[in-house]
Chain A
Amino acid sequence: MSSAAEARFRLQAPNSRPRAITVIGLDAGGAEAVRRLAAGGWSHATFFTVAAPGQLERLDGSTIGLDEQVRAADLAVMVTSAEGRSQAAAEIGRVCSDRRVNTTTLIVGAIDASDEMLSRTLAQVRPWSLMLVLAADEQYITDMMTALRA
């Protein structure tokens, strides 16, 4: 932390309000990761998997319209494995684009994936991701969410 002399005259008033983060598992691997992540007890994040077109499924099994959920979000985080089954990124990304909500996609297990599978996954998520992260371990998602004050 800054020295006492340096910190002495810094304002300590809050400088931000919480952001709402919507976390969506795109495929089976992503959904599993999202379920584990949700157990962490977050204040400003809500967690979903992909249901029918135009719908997201909460972890308790109930559903909500994709558009309605995105409208309430400041950031959409998509989580997927590298198995080439991330087609849902297009629909989610389109709604986020319409609603001017930024998207971040995390590909878990990318290091173990074949180049072909990773390419297929990238082709599905790249057009809809303003930030893409290929992390070696799932713990990174937790650290990222913490860093973003979720």
Chain B
Amino acid sequence: MLRKEQNDQLTQTGPGTPMGDMFRCYWIPALLAAELPANDCPPVRVKLLSERLIAFRDTNGRHGLMDEFCAHRGVSLWFGRNEECGLRCPYHGWKYDVTGQCIDVPSEPTESGFSQKIKLKSYPLVERGGVLWAYMGPADRQPALPEWEFATVPASQSYMSKRLQEANWLQAMEGGIDSSHVSWLHRGDLNSDPLFKGAKGNQYNLSDARPVFEVVESPGGLYIGARRNAEEGKYYWRITQYVMPSFTMIAPRGTHTVHGHFWIPIDDEQCWAWSFDYRPDRELTAAEVSAMRDGKGIHVKVDGSYRPLANKDNDYLIDRVAQKLGKTFSGVEGIGMQDASLQESMGPIVDRTRENLVSTDNGIIMARHRLLRAVKAFREKGALPPGIDVAHQRVRSAAIVLPADQPFTEGAKDALVVQAAVAHASV
């Protein structure tokens, strides 16, 4: 459980809130690069950290992310005309460049310089790895560009999708580090999903249904190790990475692609679930990409606004027959929606004063502990939160067999950091 004030602190990310200020220290995924596919293409509405913004790509290919509303009469610039290096409000023709600077007020004499007095709040927006990343913090604290491995490999080796999740970011993120739910909620998918099946490690999973967990602090967040009995005197480890505030990377399976998430607040009651898959050592196959587009693995089929086709309005297309037959444990199809359906069912912001955690929830308890500690250090001392240092981002998850008495942080030391063009440690 958390006290109400702790729950509020962790779940509220609007401007001026402690957690919101901390989130604004990081580069966060804002849009898929494909959402702004060409120069002068239509602008896109973006809500991040409870701020309504507009993103556009100008005539010269520069990306802009700024206040959604025209400074004149408050019209949404989503209706704007993206032309000649700026976004023009269709109401009275006021025009803005990618920095939010007003560059034309047709009703005022050009010589008056009035337009120079008008500027919308704007944020840097840069493309990396098929994602447009936003930095919403103070300019003098802007960190180095993100170096997550999936975003630095060639485009042919990586796939990214996003979906709307109608729940606070924290309960979605906590699902990503809650290793103990996998044996229940996703048990039907291990042997059937094309992006999971066939790995030798799956046999360890199936032959030892009661994993034991170890939670270890890492420089950027946490390692969450789930161990199962392997051959005599050895353990099979699945090590998940959590990097603050909201990055998770799931342990790989065999030669499959490696996947993980970002959980980015839209406002306090919705978040974007970003899902990546990649291989550092090879291109993705056509079959893998096809499966990802088809909503397999951790990906989900969505509509044009990235809302899942299975959603709370249609009860997530729950199939009670499939549930009864054990084809899916919850009756909801697909790993991503199995998670999302349950997390959304908790309510927009779950009341953590009423929860009853158990010892297998230590990964979640530790993540909250580290987040609260980092927020406090940031507010009181201006301490740089973990996860900003690019060294914290050059990490990997791992699946590995180790001697029984070996700390996994020692035995998997090399496997837990990026090694260029080398495959993940996987079983």
- Asked whether any CB of chain B lies closer than 8 Å to the CB of A62, the reply is no
**9 residue pairs, one from A and one from B, having the closest CB atoms:** A123-B405, A104-B359, A131-B359, A134-B216, A132-B214, A147-B365, A143-B369, A2-B347, A136-B217
Q: Which of A10, A110, A136 meets B351, CB within 8 Å?
A: A10
- Residue of B at shortest CB range from A19? B356
Write 18 A-B pairs (CB below 8 A) sorted by A numbering. Answer: A3-B269, A3-B348, A3-B349, A6-B347, A6-B349, A115-B407, A119-B410, A126-B404, A126-B405, A130-B360, A132-B212, A133-B214, A135-B366, A139-B373, A143-B368, A143-B372, A147-B368, A149-B357
Query: Digit string of A78-110 for contact with B (CB within 8 Å is 1, else 0)?
Result: 000000000000000000000000111000001
- Asked whether any CB of chain B lies closer than 8 Å to the CB of A59, the reply is no
Q: Specify which chain A residues have a CB less than 8 angstroms from the CB of B406 in the assembled complex.
A: 119, 122
Q: SS class of chain A's interface: helix, strand, loop or mixed?
A: mixed
Q: Specify which chain B residues have a CB less than 8 angstroms from the CB of A111 in the assembled complex.
A: 217
A147 touches B347 (CB 8 A): no
Task: Report the separation of the CA atoms of residues A110 and B223 in the bound assembly, to the nearest whole angstrom.
Answer: 14
Residues of B341-376 contacting chain A, CB below 8 A: 347-351, 354, 356-362, 365-366, 368-369, 372-373
- Residue of A at shortest CB range from B211? A130
A147 touches B357 (CB 8 A): yes
Query: Digit string of A107-150 for contact with B (CB within 8 Å is 1, else 0)?
Result: 00011000100111011001001111111100110011011110
- Residue of A at shortest CB range from B356? A16
- Asked whether any CB of chain B lies closer than 8 Å to the CB of A75, the reply is yes
Task: Report the separation of the CA atoms of residues A75 and B362 in the bound assembly, to the nearest whole angstrom.
Answer: 14
Q: Specify which chain A residues have a CB less than 8 angstroms from the CB of B407 in the assembled complex.
A: 115, 118-119, 122, 134
Q: Which of A7, A104, A110 meets B362, CB within 8 Å?
A: A104
Task: Report the separation of the CA atoms of residues A135 and B369 in the bound assembly, to the nearest whole angstrom.
Answer: 10
Query: Digit string of A12-47 for contact with B (CB within 8 Å is 1, else 0)?
Result: 000110000000000000000000000000000000
- Number of interface residues, chain A, beta carbon within 8 A: 37
- Asked whether any CB of chain B lies closer than 8 Å to the CB of A1, the reply is yes
CB distance from A133 to the nearest CB of B (A): 5
A133 touches B8 (CB 8 A): no
B357 touches A148 (CB 8 A): yes
A122 touches B358 (CB 8 A): no
Q: Specify which chain B residues have a CB less than 8 angstroms from the CB of A134 in the assembled complex.
A: 214-217, 407
A1 touches B349 (CB 8 A): yes
Given A111-B217, A148-B357: A133 touches B366 (CB 8 Å cut-off):
yes
Q: Specify which chain A residues have a CB less than 8 angstroms from the CB of B361 in the assembled complex.
A: 147
Q: Specify which chain B residues have a CB less than 8 angstroms from the CB of A75 in the assembled complex.
A: 358-359
Given A1-B7, A143-B365, A144-B365: A149 touches B356 (CB 8 Å cut-off):
yes
CB distance from B114 to the nearest CB of A (A): 42
Q: Specify which chain A residues have a CB less than 8 angstroms from the CB of B372 in the assembled complex.
A: 143
Q: Specify which chain A residues have a CB less than 8 angstroms from the CB of B365 in the assembled complex.
A: 143-144, 147
* Extra contacts besides A2-B348, A129-B212, A148-B359 (5): CB < 8 Å: A1-B7, A6-B347, A131-B214, A140-B366, A143-B369
B405 touches A119 (CB 8 A): yes
Q: Specify which chain B residues have a CB less than 8 angstroms from the CB of A110 in the assembled complex.
A: 216
CB distance from B229 to the nearest CB of A (A): 11
CB distance from A150 to the nearest CB of B (A): 11
Q: Specify which chain A residues have a CB less than 8 angstroms from the CB of B215 in the assembled complex.
A: 131-134
CB distance from A65 to the nearest CB of B (A): 24
Residues of B376-427 contacting chain A, CB below 8 A: 404-407, 410
CB distance from A74 to the nearest CB of B (A): 10
Task: Report the separation of the CA atoms of residues A110 and B348 in the bound assembly, to the nearest whole angstrom.
Answer: 38
B348 touches A6 (CB 8 A): yes
Task: Report the separation of the CA atoms of residues A69 and B213 in the bound assembly, to the nearest whole angstrom.
Answer: 25
